[in-house]
Structure 1
Amino acid sequence: MRPEVAVREWAELGEGPTWDPVGGRLIWVDILASRIHGYEPGSGRRTVMATEQHVGAAKPRVGGGLVVNLRDGVGLYGPDGAFSWLLREPVPGRRGNDAAVAPDGALWAGTMRYDEAPSGGSLTRVTGDGTPTPLPGDITVSNGIGWSPDGRSMYYVDSPTRRIDVFDFDSQLAHERREFAAIEEGAGFPDGLAVDAAGGVWVALWDGGAIRRYGPDGTLDLVVGLPVRRPTACAFGGPGLGDLYITTARVGQDRPHPLAGSLLVLPGIGRGIPGTAFAG
């Protein structure tokens, strides 16, 4: 259960790991450095691409390229690297944060204010043609998003609540929000999450130095300690989606651990769910 270093890096705010099955690579971002990183476990090859603005997430698109959750909205990179806006909605003091692609190919894109002001964030469903549908309700720091193996439940984290919530997910709509699991005081804040093939929910604990797995019924059944204080998110990847990759951050720490900012991996710890490319 000891994590290994997949990529030694000094990311300020590593986030949003995503497995790209077509490229056989793990994609993740450094939000504050405006960089998208790529890593191919098979060859060890790495890539780094600069973005137009601070980037909260980058996900594969159908047909190639990436959809990105930027400071001022959702943008597209084509297979040739050309950039265009899909949905531009700038709000002063706000930026894009974590995002995820639903089973129907729509992007659920979260935001937060730089000062983390209460109710300053949002979560919006964005279709391939750029049509937005905001999720109602107060949101502060929109973070992890994921779906159950049968696609009927959507898990969601608004970090200051110290909860993982779950929605009924039906006909592309999320409704009937309720608590799935609560994170106790002193254990950190829930950040990014991943769902495995058995329906377990894995969550990174910011300021908690750990990854947790909750069973489908919300019962805590595994805690893996990490050498870094601020893990940010996790995603399954590699052969058979059996390895759990973990992004980490250096930001806000006077003396960060030497591995803070690196991409870590827990080899063979479970089995993930194949992802969906953005339908746009």
Structure 2
Amino acid sequence: MTSRRAAMGQARTTAYDVAVRETAALGEGPTWDAATARLIWVDILGSRVHTYAPGNGRRTVMATEQHVGAAKPRRGGGLVVNLRDGVGLYGPEGASFSWLVRNPVPGRRGNDAAVAPDGSLWVGTMAYDERPGGGSLTRIAPDGTATEQLGEVAVSNGTGWSPDGRLMYYVDSPTRRIDVFDSAQDECVYAVNRRPFAEIEEGAGFPDGLTVDADGCVWVALWDGAAIRRYTPDGRLDRTVELPVRRPTACAFGGPGLRDLYITTARTGLDRPHPLSGSLLVLPDAGRGLPGRPFAG
């Protein structure tokens, strides 16, 4: 069921707080790290990895040598990062760096990424000019084995799994769709049988990053849509959260009980960005998130 068929009767809210006031060019990829009780997020074009601990307000900022599309916690501590030229590993507190997969392609960079139920990392790429077919979606095993899952992608974005792990949701932003795959695990997670889950109508923005909550609902940020939407497991739009910023980029649950929804935002490309564009926003007590998984490598 698409958003056009489901718009009637949806709940609309505007409740949000500012978690971190920032001027990130392209804030992205919020991820809750349960081991450290902090939120990890990136400024892609600023080449920065940010952390924020809501319990005490402590923040850190780490510079990367390349544009960084995503940063996720590792099982043994540290971070795995989706960089311009591939996937890299940082030790705890950024003390060391090594390449796990290095595959530079001129004019291409890493974008959104997600950790699958088996602990593998699914990384997206895109061309800087966003040309069709310039990106891909690739599974990175803990040992660094890379297996392309989707080619001919334009802007690889939100990826997430249902609570039981049997479905995988995915966004290639210019399609204006959230797609769903059947996901299964033999020796590793794989995804088949791609089909539309929800469509974003013309004029409502483009789907960007997403997260799946404990009820199996899919929350998606709408780039140029100034809103976050929630879709039920049958693809019905049942909630819209309106925001003051034009370009929300992604969302993730975090905080005590995983009940607060954190939202990254961007100011790149805007002639007159809202004062909060580039900040980290939060919707208190928005729902109930799923526990995250660290990368197993």
TM interval, short-chain normalised:
over 0.9
Where 1:46 maps in the other structure, the secondary structure is: strand
Instruction: Name which of structure 1's ranges 72-81 and 46-55 shifts more when overlaid on structure 2.
Output: 72-81
Distance 2:163 2:126 in 1: 28
Distance 2:84 2:221 in 1: 23
Distance 1:228 1:7 in 2: 14
| Cα drift, residue 137 of structure 1 | 4.1
Distance 1:50 1:134 in 2: 28
Q: TM-score, normalised by structure 1?
A: 0.99
Correspondences of 1:1-280 after superposition (within 5 Å): 1=13, 2-80=15-93, 81-171=95-185, 172-280=189-297
Deviations, residues 240-264 of structure 1 (Å, cap 9, x unaligned): 0000000000000000000000000
Distance 1:94 1:9 in 2: 26
Q: TM-score, normalised by structure 2?
A: 0.93
Deviations, residues 46-104 of structure 1 (Å, cap 9, x unaligned): 00000121000000001100000000000000115200000000000000000000010
**One-letter identity of the residue aligned with 1:125:** R
| Cα drift, residue 208 of structure 1 | 0.1
- What stretches of structure 1 move > 4 A for 4+ residues in a row? none
Unaligned segments of structure 1, at least 5 residues: none
Deviations, residues 115-145 of structure 1 (Å, cap 9, x unaligned): 0011100000001110011013421100000
**One-letter identity of the residue aligned with 1:222:** R
Number of aligned residues: 280
Distance 2:79 2:152 in 1: 29
Where 1:138 maps in the other structure, the secondary structure is: strand
Where 2:174 maps in the other structure, the secondary structure is: helix
Deviations, residues 183-239 of structure 1 (Å, cap 9, x unaligned): 000000000000000000000000000000000000000001001000000000000
State, as a whole percentage, how many aligned pairs show the same letter.
Answer: 77
Unaligned segments of structure 2, at least 5 residues: 1-12
**One-letter identity of the residue aligned with 1:156:** Y
